[in-house]
Amino acid sequence: MTSTLCSTPARAIAIALALAFAFASASGSAFAQNSAAIAEGLFRDGKKLLDQKRYAEACPKFEESARLDPSSGVKLALGICYEGLGKLASAWGAYLDAISLARRDGRRDREKAATERSAALEHKIAHVTFDVPPGVAQLPGLVVKEDGVAIGAAAWKNAPIDPGDHSLEVSATGKKPFSTSFSIGAGADSKTVPVPELEDAPRVEGGGPGEAPPVTTRPLATYGFVALGVGAASIVTGSILGGIAIADAADVRKVCSAPTCSNASAVAENSTAATLADWSTVTFIVGGVALAASVVMFLVKGKRVQPAATALQPMVGPRWIGLGGAW
């Protein structure tokens, strides 16, 4: 006898996983479509504000639109908006992005407009150089931040920058951090900001110079979303496998209702149903553990923990499966 639903555990599992994947893909596609719709709405709102030269209100609209659905059109509009605010370096960068995206999309008109605007700005952009001593540049754990954003060594010299007030922070392992502020004038201003040799940090008892007790913050909320997705997918898969197992068992009972059965096909079908039932149970357990873990991680998100409390680890026993860890 052959079931109308499936004849082997492998095929049943493939069907279940395919359905779960299709469900996840459909959800992702719907999310992407929703993001594109939101981005389009933001772009249109920003365009109206841009036409009214309300640059300070228009620019955040274009920034969020570009984050959700980057395109040459929104990058070009963002560059024009930045230019209206006098943020010429940011405008130049947006135009360069627009050129790249326009080439990708085959929009020669946007590529031409962005190229002309970027070329017109090049001689107007201000630049800054951070004079980092060689000894500091070679320090372990060195981090240089401009306005709170980490920048690499390539951006330390003659880097484009918008006019206005800015901050510089320099830190390294075992050293006192250095910070300063500086201003960039309008026009093609050029400024050099010196960075001194960093002083040794005070020695902390039980550690080396400047080594504070190892404490960190785990982004548990992020892990919680991952665990939630795994749990949901496992529950869906377990449900499908369980349904197939029940259908196969029903087919077997139609042929053999007695405790013993001499029909070889029915016996094989019954074995398949049992295997599917086992897989269904396992996936339900995994799903339940993952969902429970996601709830715990949402509840304790942001809790400060020791580095030894690493991400959750899988734990498997003779008759159980679970997740372990500390936070």
Q: What is the pLDDT of residues 300-316, one digit of tens each?
A: 654 444 444 444 455 54
Summarised one tens digit per residue, pLDDT across range 15-41 is 555 555 555 554 455 555 688 889 899
- Whether 3 shows a pLDDT value over 50: the answer reads no
The answer to whether residue 293 sits within a structural domain is yes
- Average pLDDT of 296-303? 59
Co-location of 272 and 291 in the same domain: yes
Co-location of 83 and 57 in the same domain: yes
Q: According to the model, what pLDDT value does residue 299 have? A: 67
Q: According to the model, what pLDDT value does residue 217 have? A: 47
Summarised one tens digit per residue, pLDDT across range 274-288 is 776 776 687 668 767
The answer to whether residue 9 sits within a structural domain is no
Co-location of 196 and 231 in the same domain: no
State the average pLDDT for the chain.
Answer: 78
Q: According to the model, what pLDDT value does residue 134 have? A: 95
- Whether 326 shows a pLDDT value over 50: the answer reads no
Summarised one tens digit per residue, pLDDT across range 224-256 is 667 667 767 767 776 786 677 687 667 666 667
Give the percent of the chain with pLDDT over 70. Answer: 61
Q: According to the model, what pLDDT value does residue 308 have? A: 43
- What's the rounded Cα separation, in Å, for the pair 155 and 147? 13
Co-location of 197 and 285 in the same domain: no
Q: According to the model, what pLDDT value does residue 226 have? A: 72
Summarised one tens digit per residue, pLDDT across range 81-124 is 999 999 999 999 999 999 999 999 999 999 999 999 999 999 99
Co-location of 33 and 44 in the same domain: yes
- The pTM of the whole model exceeds 0.85: no
Which of 143, 168, 203 represents a domain boundary (last residue)? 203
Q: According to the model, what pLDDT value does residue 6 have? A: 45
The answer to whether residue 280 sits within a structural domain is yes
Co-location of 142 and 48 in the same domain: no
- Comparing 11-20, 117-126, 210-219, the range with the smallest average pLDDT is 210-219
Q: According to the model, what pLDDT value does residue 318 have? A: 45
- What is the token pair recorded at 261? 């059965």
Co-location of 224 and 317 in the same domain: yes
- Whether 149 shows a pLDDT value over 80: the answer reads yes
Co-location of 117 and 141 in the same domain: no
Which of 83, 103, 124 represents a domain boundary (last residue)? 124
- Whether 190 shows a pLDDT value over 50: the answer reads yes
Q: Are 196 and 178 in contact (CB under 8 A)?
A: yes
Co-location of 114 and 131 in the same domain: no
Co-location of 222 and 314 in the same domain: yes
Domain that holds residue 54: 25-124
Q: According to the model, what pLDDT value does residue 73 have? A: 95
Q: Say which amino acid occupies 46.
A: G
Which of 68, 94, 124 represents a domain boundary (last residue)? 124
Q: According to the model, what pLDDT value does residue 307 have? A: 45
Co-location of 105 and 189 in the same domain: no
- What's the rounded Cα separation, in Å, for the pair 146 and 170? 9
- Average pLDDT of 78-83? 97
Q: Please state the domain count of the chain.
A: 3
The total number of residues written for the chain in this structure: 327
